Each structure stands twice: as structure tokens, then as C-alpha cells.
Amino acid sequence: MTGTATRAAPVELLRHLRRARDHIDGHYVTALELDQLARVAGISKFHFARSRVERAQDLLRAANLTVTEICLLVGFASLGSFSARFRQVVGEGPTAYRNRWAARGGPHVPGCYLFMRGVLDPSGTTGPLAGKADRAI
């Protein structure tokens, strides 16, 4: 894959993801577990984790955000768990991944611009997720 294009989800998967998103929107006040969201959506919990890593890959290639900001934006609670999962899925750590893409000379979009345009929810970088971690980029 080249450039910074995001991956489109298959149409049949969108239905499942919408169910999960509706559940998140309806229960934003309570803590949600990955197992619970997977049951509501009718898909494997591992799909959610892989989707978050894929979103992080897109942000690492395109956005001028710290690894910690990206970690929180894609829904991980700690940098350690994010880095371990990223390494498991991608085969290298998030910083090494970013450095490899940066060496190719790809442009980065300033994080402040992404927040200003509403592409990213800044509340995800300062505390508990606001239930909006699935915003399309």
C-alpha cells in the first residue's frame, strides 16, 4: 500500500460496526468492554483490535501526532498495550513504523488541523474516550 489512503470496510461489515457504534452511543456513560461490543456487533473481538491498529497505521503515516495521542485516539487505554498489539499485528513498533514511512518522504497533516476540522476528537487524548473513536479520516 502506498500513500495515506484509508481502507474502506466491506459493506457487510459496516452493518456489524454500526450496531456496535449504536451501542456505544446509547451507553456512552458506562464503561464498555471489548467482549460486550463484539457480542453486540456479532463479530470477533479480534477484529476490533485489528481495526484499531489499522487506524493507528493510517494516523502514523499521515498525521503529525505523537504515538501516545494516536494510542488514545484509536481506543487503547495504555501505551504499553497499544505498542504490544501494534507489534503483534504489524511486526514492528509504532515508532519504527512511523520512522520507516517518514524516510519515504510522505507528508504529514498537522494534528491541530485534524482536531480543528473535526476529523479527530481531542477528548480522546486527554481522558476517557468519548465514544467517538471510529470517526472516519
Domains of the chain in start order, with CATH, are 48-125 (1.10.10.60)
**What does the pLDDT look like over 83-114, one tens digit per residue?**
999 999 899 999 999 988 888 776 666 656 55
Report the C-alpha gap between 56 and 86 in whole angstroms: 8
Q: Is the pLDDT of residue 47 over 80?
A: no
CB 36 within 8 Å of CB 43: no
The pLDDT > 70 percentage for the chain reads: 69
Q: CA 26 from chain center: how many Å?
A: 20
Query: Is the whole-model pTM more than 0.85?
Result: no
Query: 68 or 44, which is more confident?
Result: 68
